[in-house]
Amino acid sequence: MNTTQLKIKSADEMMALGGKIADAFPQGGLIFLHGDLGTGKTTLVRGLLRHLGFKGTVKSPTYALVEPYHIASRDIYHFDLYRLADPEELEYMGGRDYLSSDALCLIEWPEKAQGFLPTENLNLFIQHDDTCRDIRIESTIPFDTNQ
């Protein structure tokens, strides 16, 4: 497992990190996003999607649980499991179909579905204060934030 620590000082830097993650996953993959409300998880996803050419609105799928995107022949699913009351709800909504595909899946609040998710390729742990975001990245794939 590779571990990297970063300090992110703006939304633009968070979106740029999303672009680097997009480059590291040219095909499918599973990314877990950990952090309290307001830490920038959706901003990071927005940066990833913009980097891949998506022009539309990117919002947190808090109520829908998943937002699908089809960009340049790729399927990308953005999950927000904050409102999941029971991990089995992911199964009822067809989560296994999304996760077993060749899609790139970005999952906010993965701990809400513990035991129902496959092993992730990248884990981002985001903490924040008034001036910056401290991010710890754990990866099972080669991932260089300096590219």
- Cα distances (Å, whole numbers) of residue 142 to 2, 15, 25, 49, 106: 8, 20, 10, 21, 18
Residue 132 has pLDDT above 80, yes or no: yes
For the chain, the domains span: 2-139
Instruction: Output the six-digit token pair for 35.
Output: 């952090």
CATH of domain 2-139: 3.40.50.300
CB-CB contact of 96 with 121 (8 Å): no
pTM value? 0.90
Q: What is the mean pLDDT of the chain?
A: 87
User: In whole angstroms, what separates CA 14 from the centre of its chain?
Assistant: 12
SS3 (DSSP) at 29: strand
pLDDT digits (tens, 9 = 90+) for 23-60: 999 888 999 999 988 888 999 999 999 999 999 888 77
pLDDT digits (tens, 9 = 90+) for 80-109: 998 887 877 877 777 777 876 689 999 999
d(CA 136, CA 6): 6
Question: String of b and e for 106-131 (b: at least 16 CB within 10 Å)?
Answer: bbbbbebbeebbeebbbbbbbeeeee
Closest CA to 89 of 69, 106, 107, 114: 114
